[in-house]
Amino acid sequence: MKSTRDRILQTLLSHPRSTILEMAQAVGINAISVRHHLTSLQADGLVTAEEERHGVGRPRLVYFLTEKGLERFPTKYMRLATRLLDELKETLPPQTVSSLFTKMATDLVEGYTGELENLPIEERLDLARQLLAEEGFTVEWEKHGDQYHINEVTCPYYHVGQSHPEVCTVDQTLISTILAIPAEKVKCVLRGDSMCTYVIQNVPAKEEVAG
């Protein structure tokens, strides 16, 4: 049986931009309980809200799923992507499929080749975070001793990756290409971890300049 929290998310999936009263009616609980769950869902980044004008009078507050919230529900686009990958893997050799994913990542970085020259490692990390954010990732990085940890808090490939883990090649190759250092994956959501984490060794200043 679905939890109240899941039923609220399901309601917002089928009826986006719902008010608290509309959700209370759909889920079958009182508005105060809905408000309590929405506060938690907003804190988790799954739901957001904005004011919407509705006839005369004060604007009303409507709620809808964030991109992170939508990722909890496989869509027709995800099913299409999965089917296309099924066909690719049945038609092409594994090495060719792997090369396609690698090329996708290197193509994303290609336009920044000039910027990367002489760029310090932490600025490269910021660029990797920016490019991955444009692809739908939420990325944070932090320094631990002589290592950098790149944490992917959310991943747009999660649902597709469950059937086709090869898609992880894209973000790993993008990170390694921008940093010019192999990124080692030490955590993966597909293995049950809370996030994907890549680790790279710190680079001495003279090697950073060499790029």
In a domain, 47, yes or no: yes
Per-residue pLDDT of the chain (211 residues; tens, 9 = 90+): 578 999 999 899 888 889 999 999 999 999 999 999 999 999 999 999 988 877 677 888 999 988 788 777 766 677 788 889 999 999 999 999 999 999 999 998 888 877 788 889 999 999 999 999 888 788 999 999 999 999 998 888 887 888 899 999 999 999 999 999 999 999 998 888 888 999 998 765 444 434 4
Question: DSSP of the chain, one letter per residue?
Answer: ---HHHHHHHHHHHS-SB-HHHHHHHHTS-HHHHHHHHHHHHHTTSEEEEEE--SSSSPEEEEEE-HHHHTTS--HHHHHHHHHHHHHHHHS-HHHHHHHHHHHHHHHHHTTHHHHTT--HHHHHHHHHHHHHHTT-EEEEEEETTEEEEEEEE-TTHHHHHH-GGGHHHHHHHHHHHHTSPPEEEE-GGGT-SSEEEEEE---HHHHHH-
Question: What pTM was computed for the model?
Answer: 0.62
Residue 123 forms part of a structural domain: yes
**145 and 48, same structural domain?**
no
Same domain as 66, residue 100:
no
Non-local (6+) Cβ contacts of 122 within 8 A are none
Q: Same structural domain for residues 50 and 102?
A: no
The domain total for the chain is: 2
39: containing domain: 4-70
Contacts of 123 (CB under 8 A, 6+ apart): none
Same domain, 66 and 101: no
CATH code, 206: 3.30.1380.20
> Could you tell me if 63 and 98 lie in one domain?
no
The CATH number linked to 66 is 1.10.10.10
Asked if the structure places residue 75 within a domain, the reply is no
pLDDT for res 89: 93
Tell me if 76 is assigned to some domain: no
Residues 35 and 118 grouped into a single domain: no
Query: 109 and 205: one domain?
Result: yes
State the pLDDT at residue 27. 94
Same domain, 206 and 135: yes
174 and 104: one domain? yes
Whether residue 51 is found in the same domain as residue 127:
no
Residues 6+ apart with CB under 8 A from 203: 121, 181
Task: Specify the pLDDT at position 116.
Answer: 84
Shared domain for 101 and 204, answered yes or no, is yes
Establish if 85 belongs to a structural domain.
no
Give residue 211's pLDDT: 41
Q: Are both 108 and 198 inside the same structural domain?
A: yes
Look at residue 88 and tell me if it is in a domain: no
What pLDDT, on the 0 to 100 scale, is given for residue 88?
92
Is residue 108 included in any domain, yes or no? yes
77 inside domain:
no
Which of residues 70, 86, 105 is at a domain's end?
A: 70
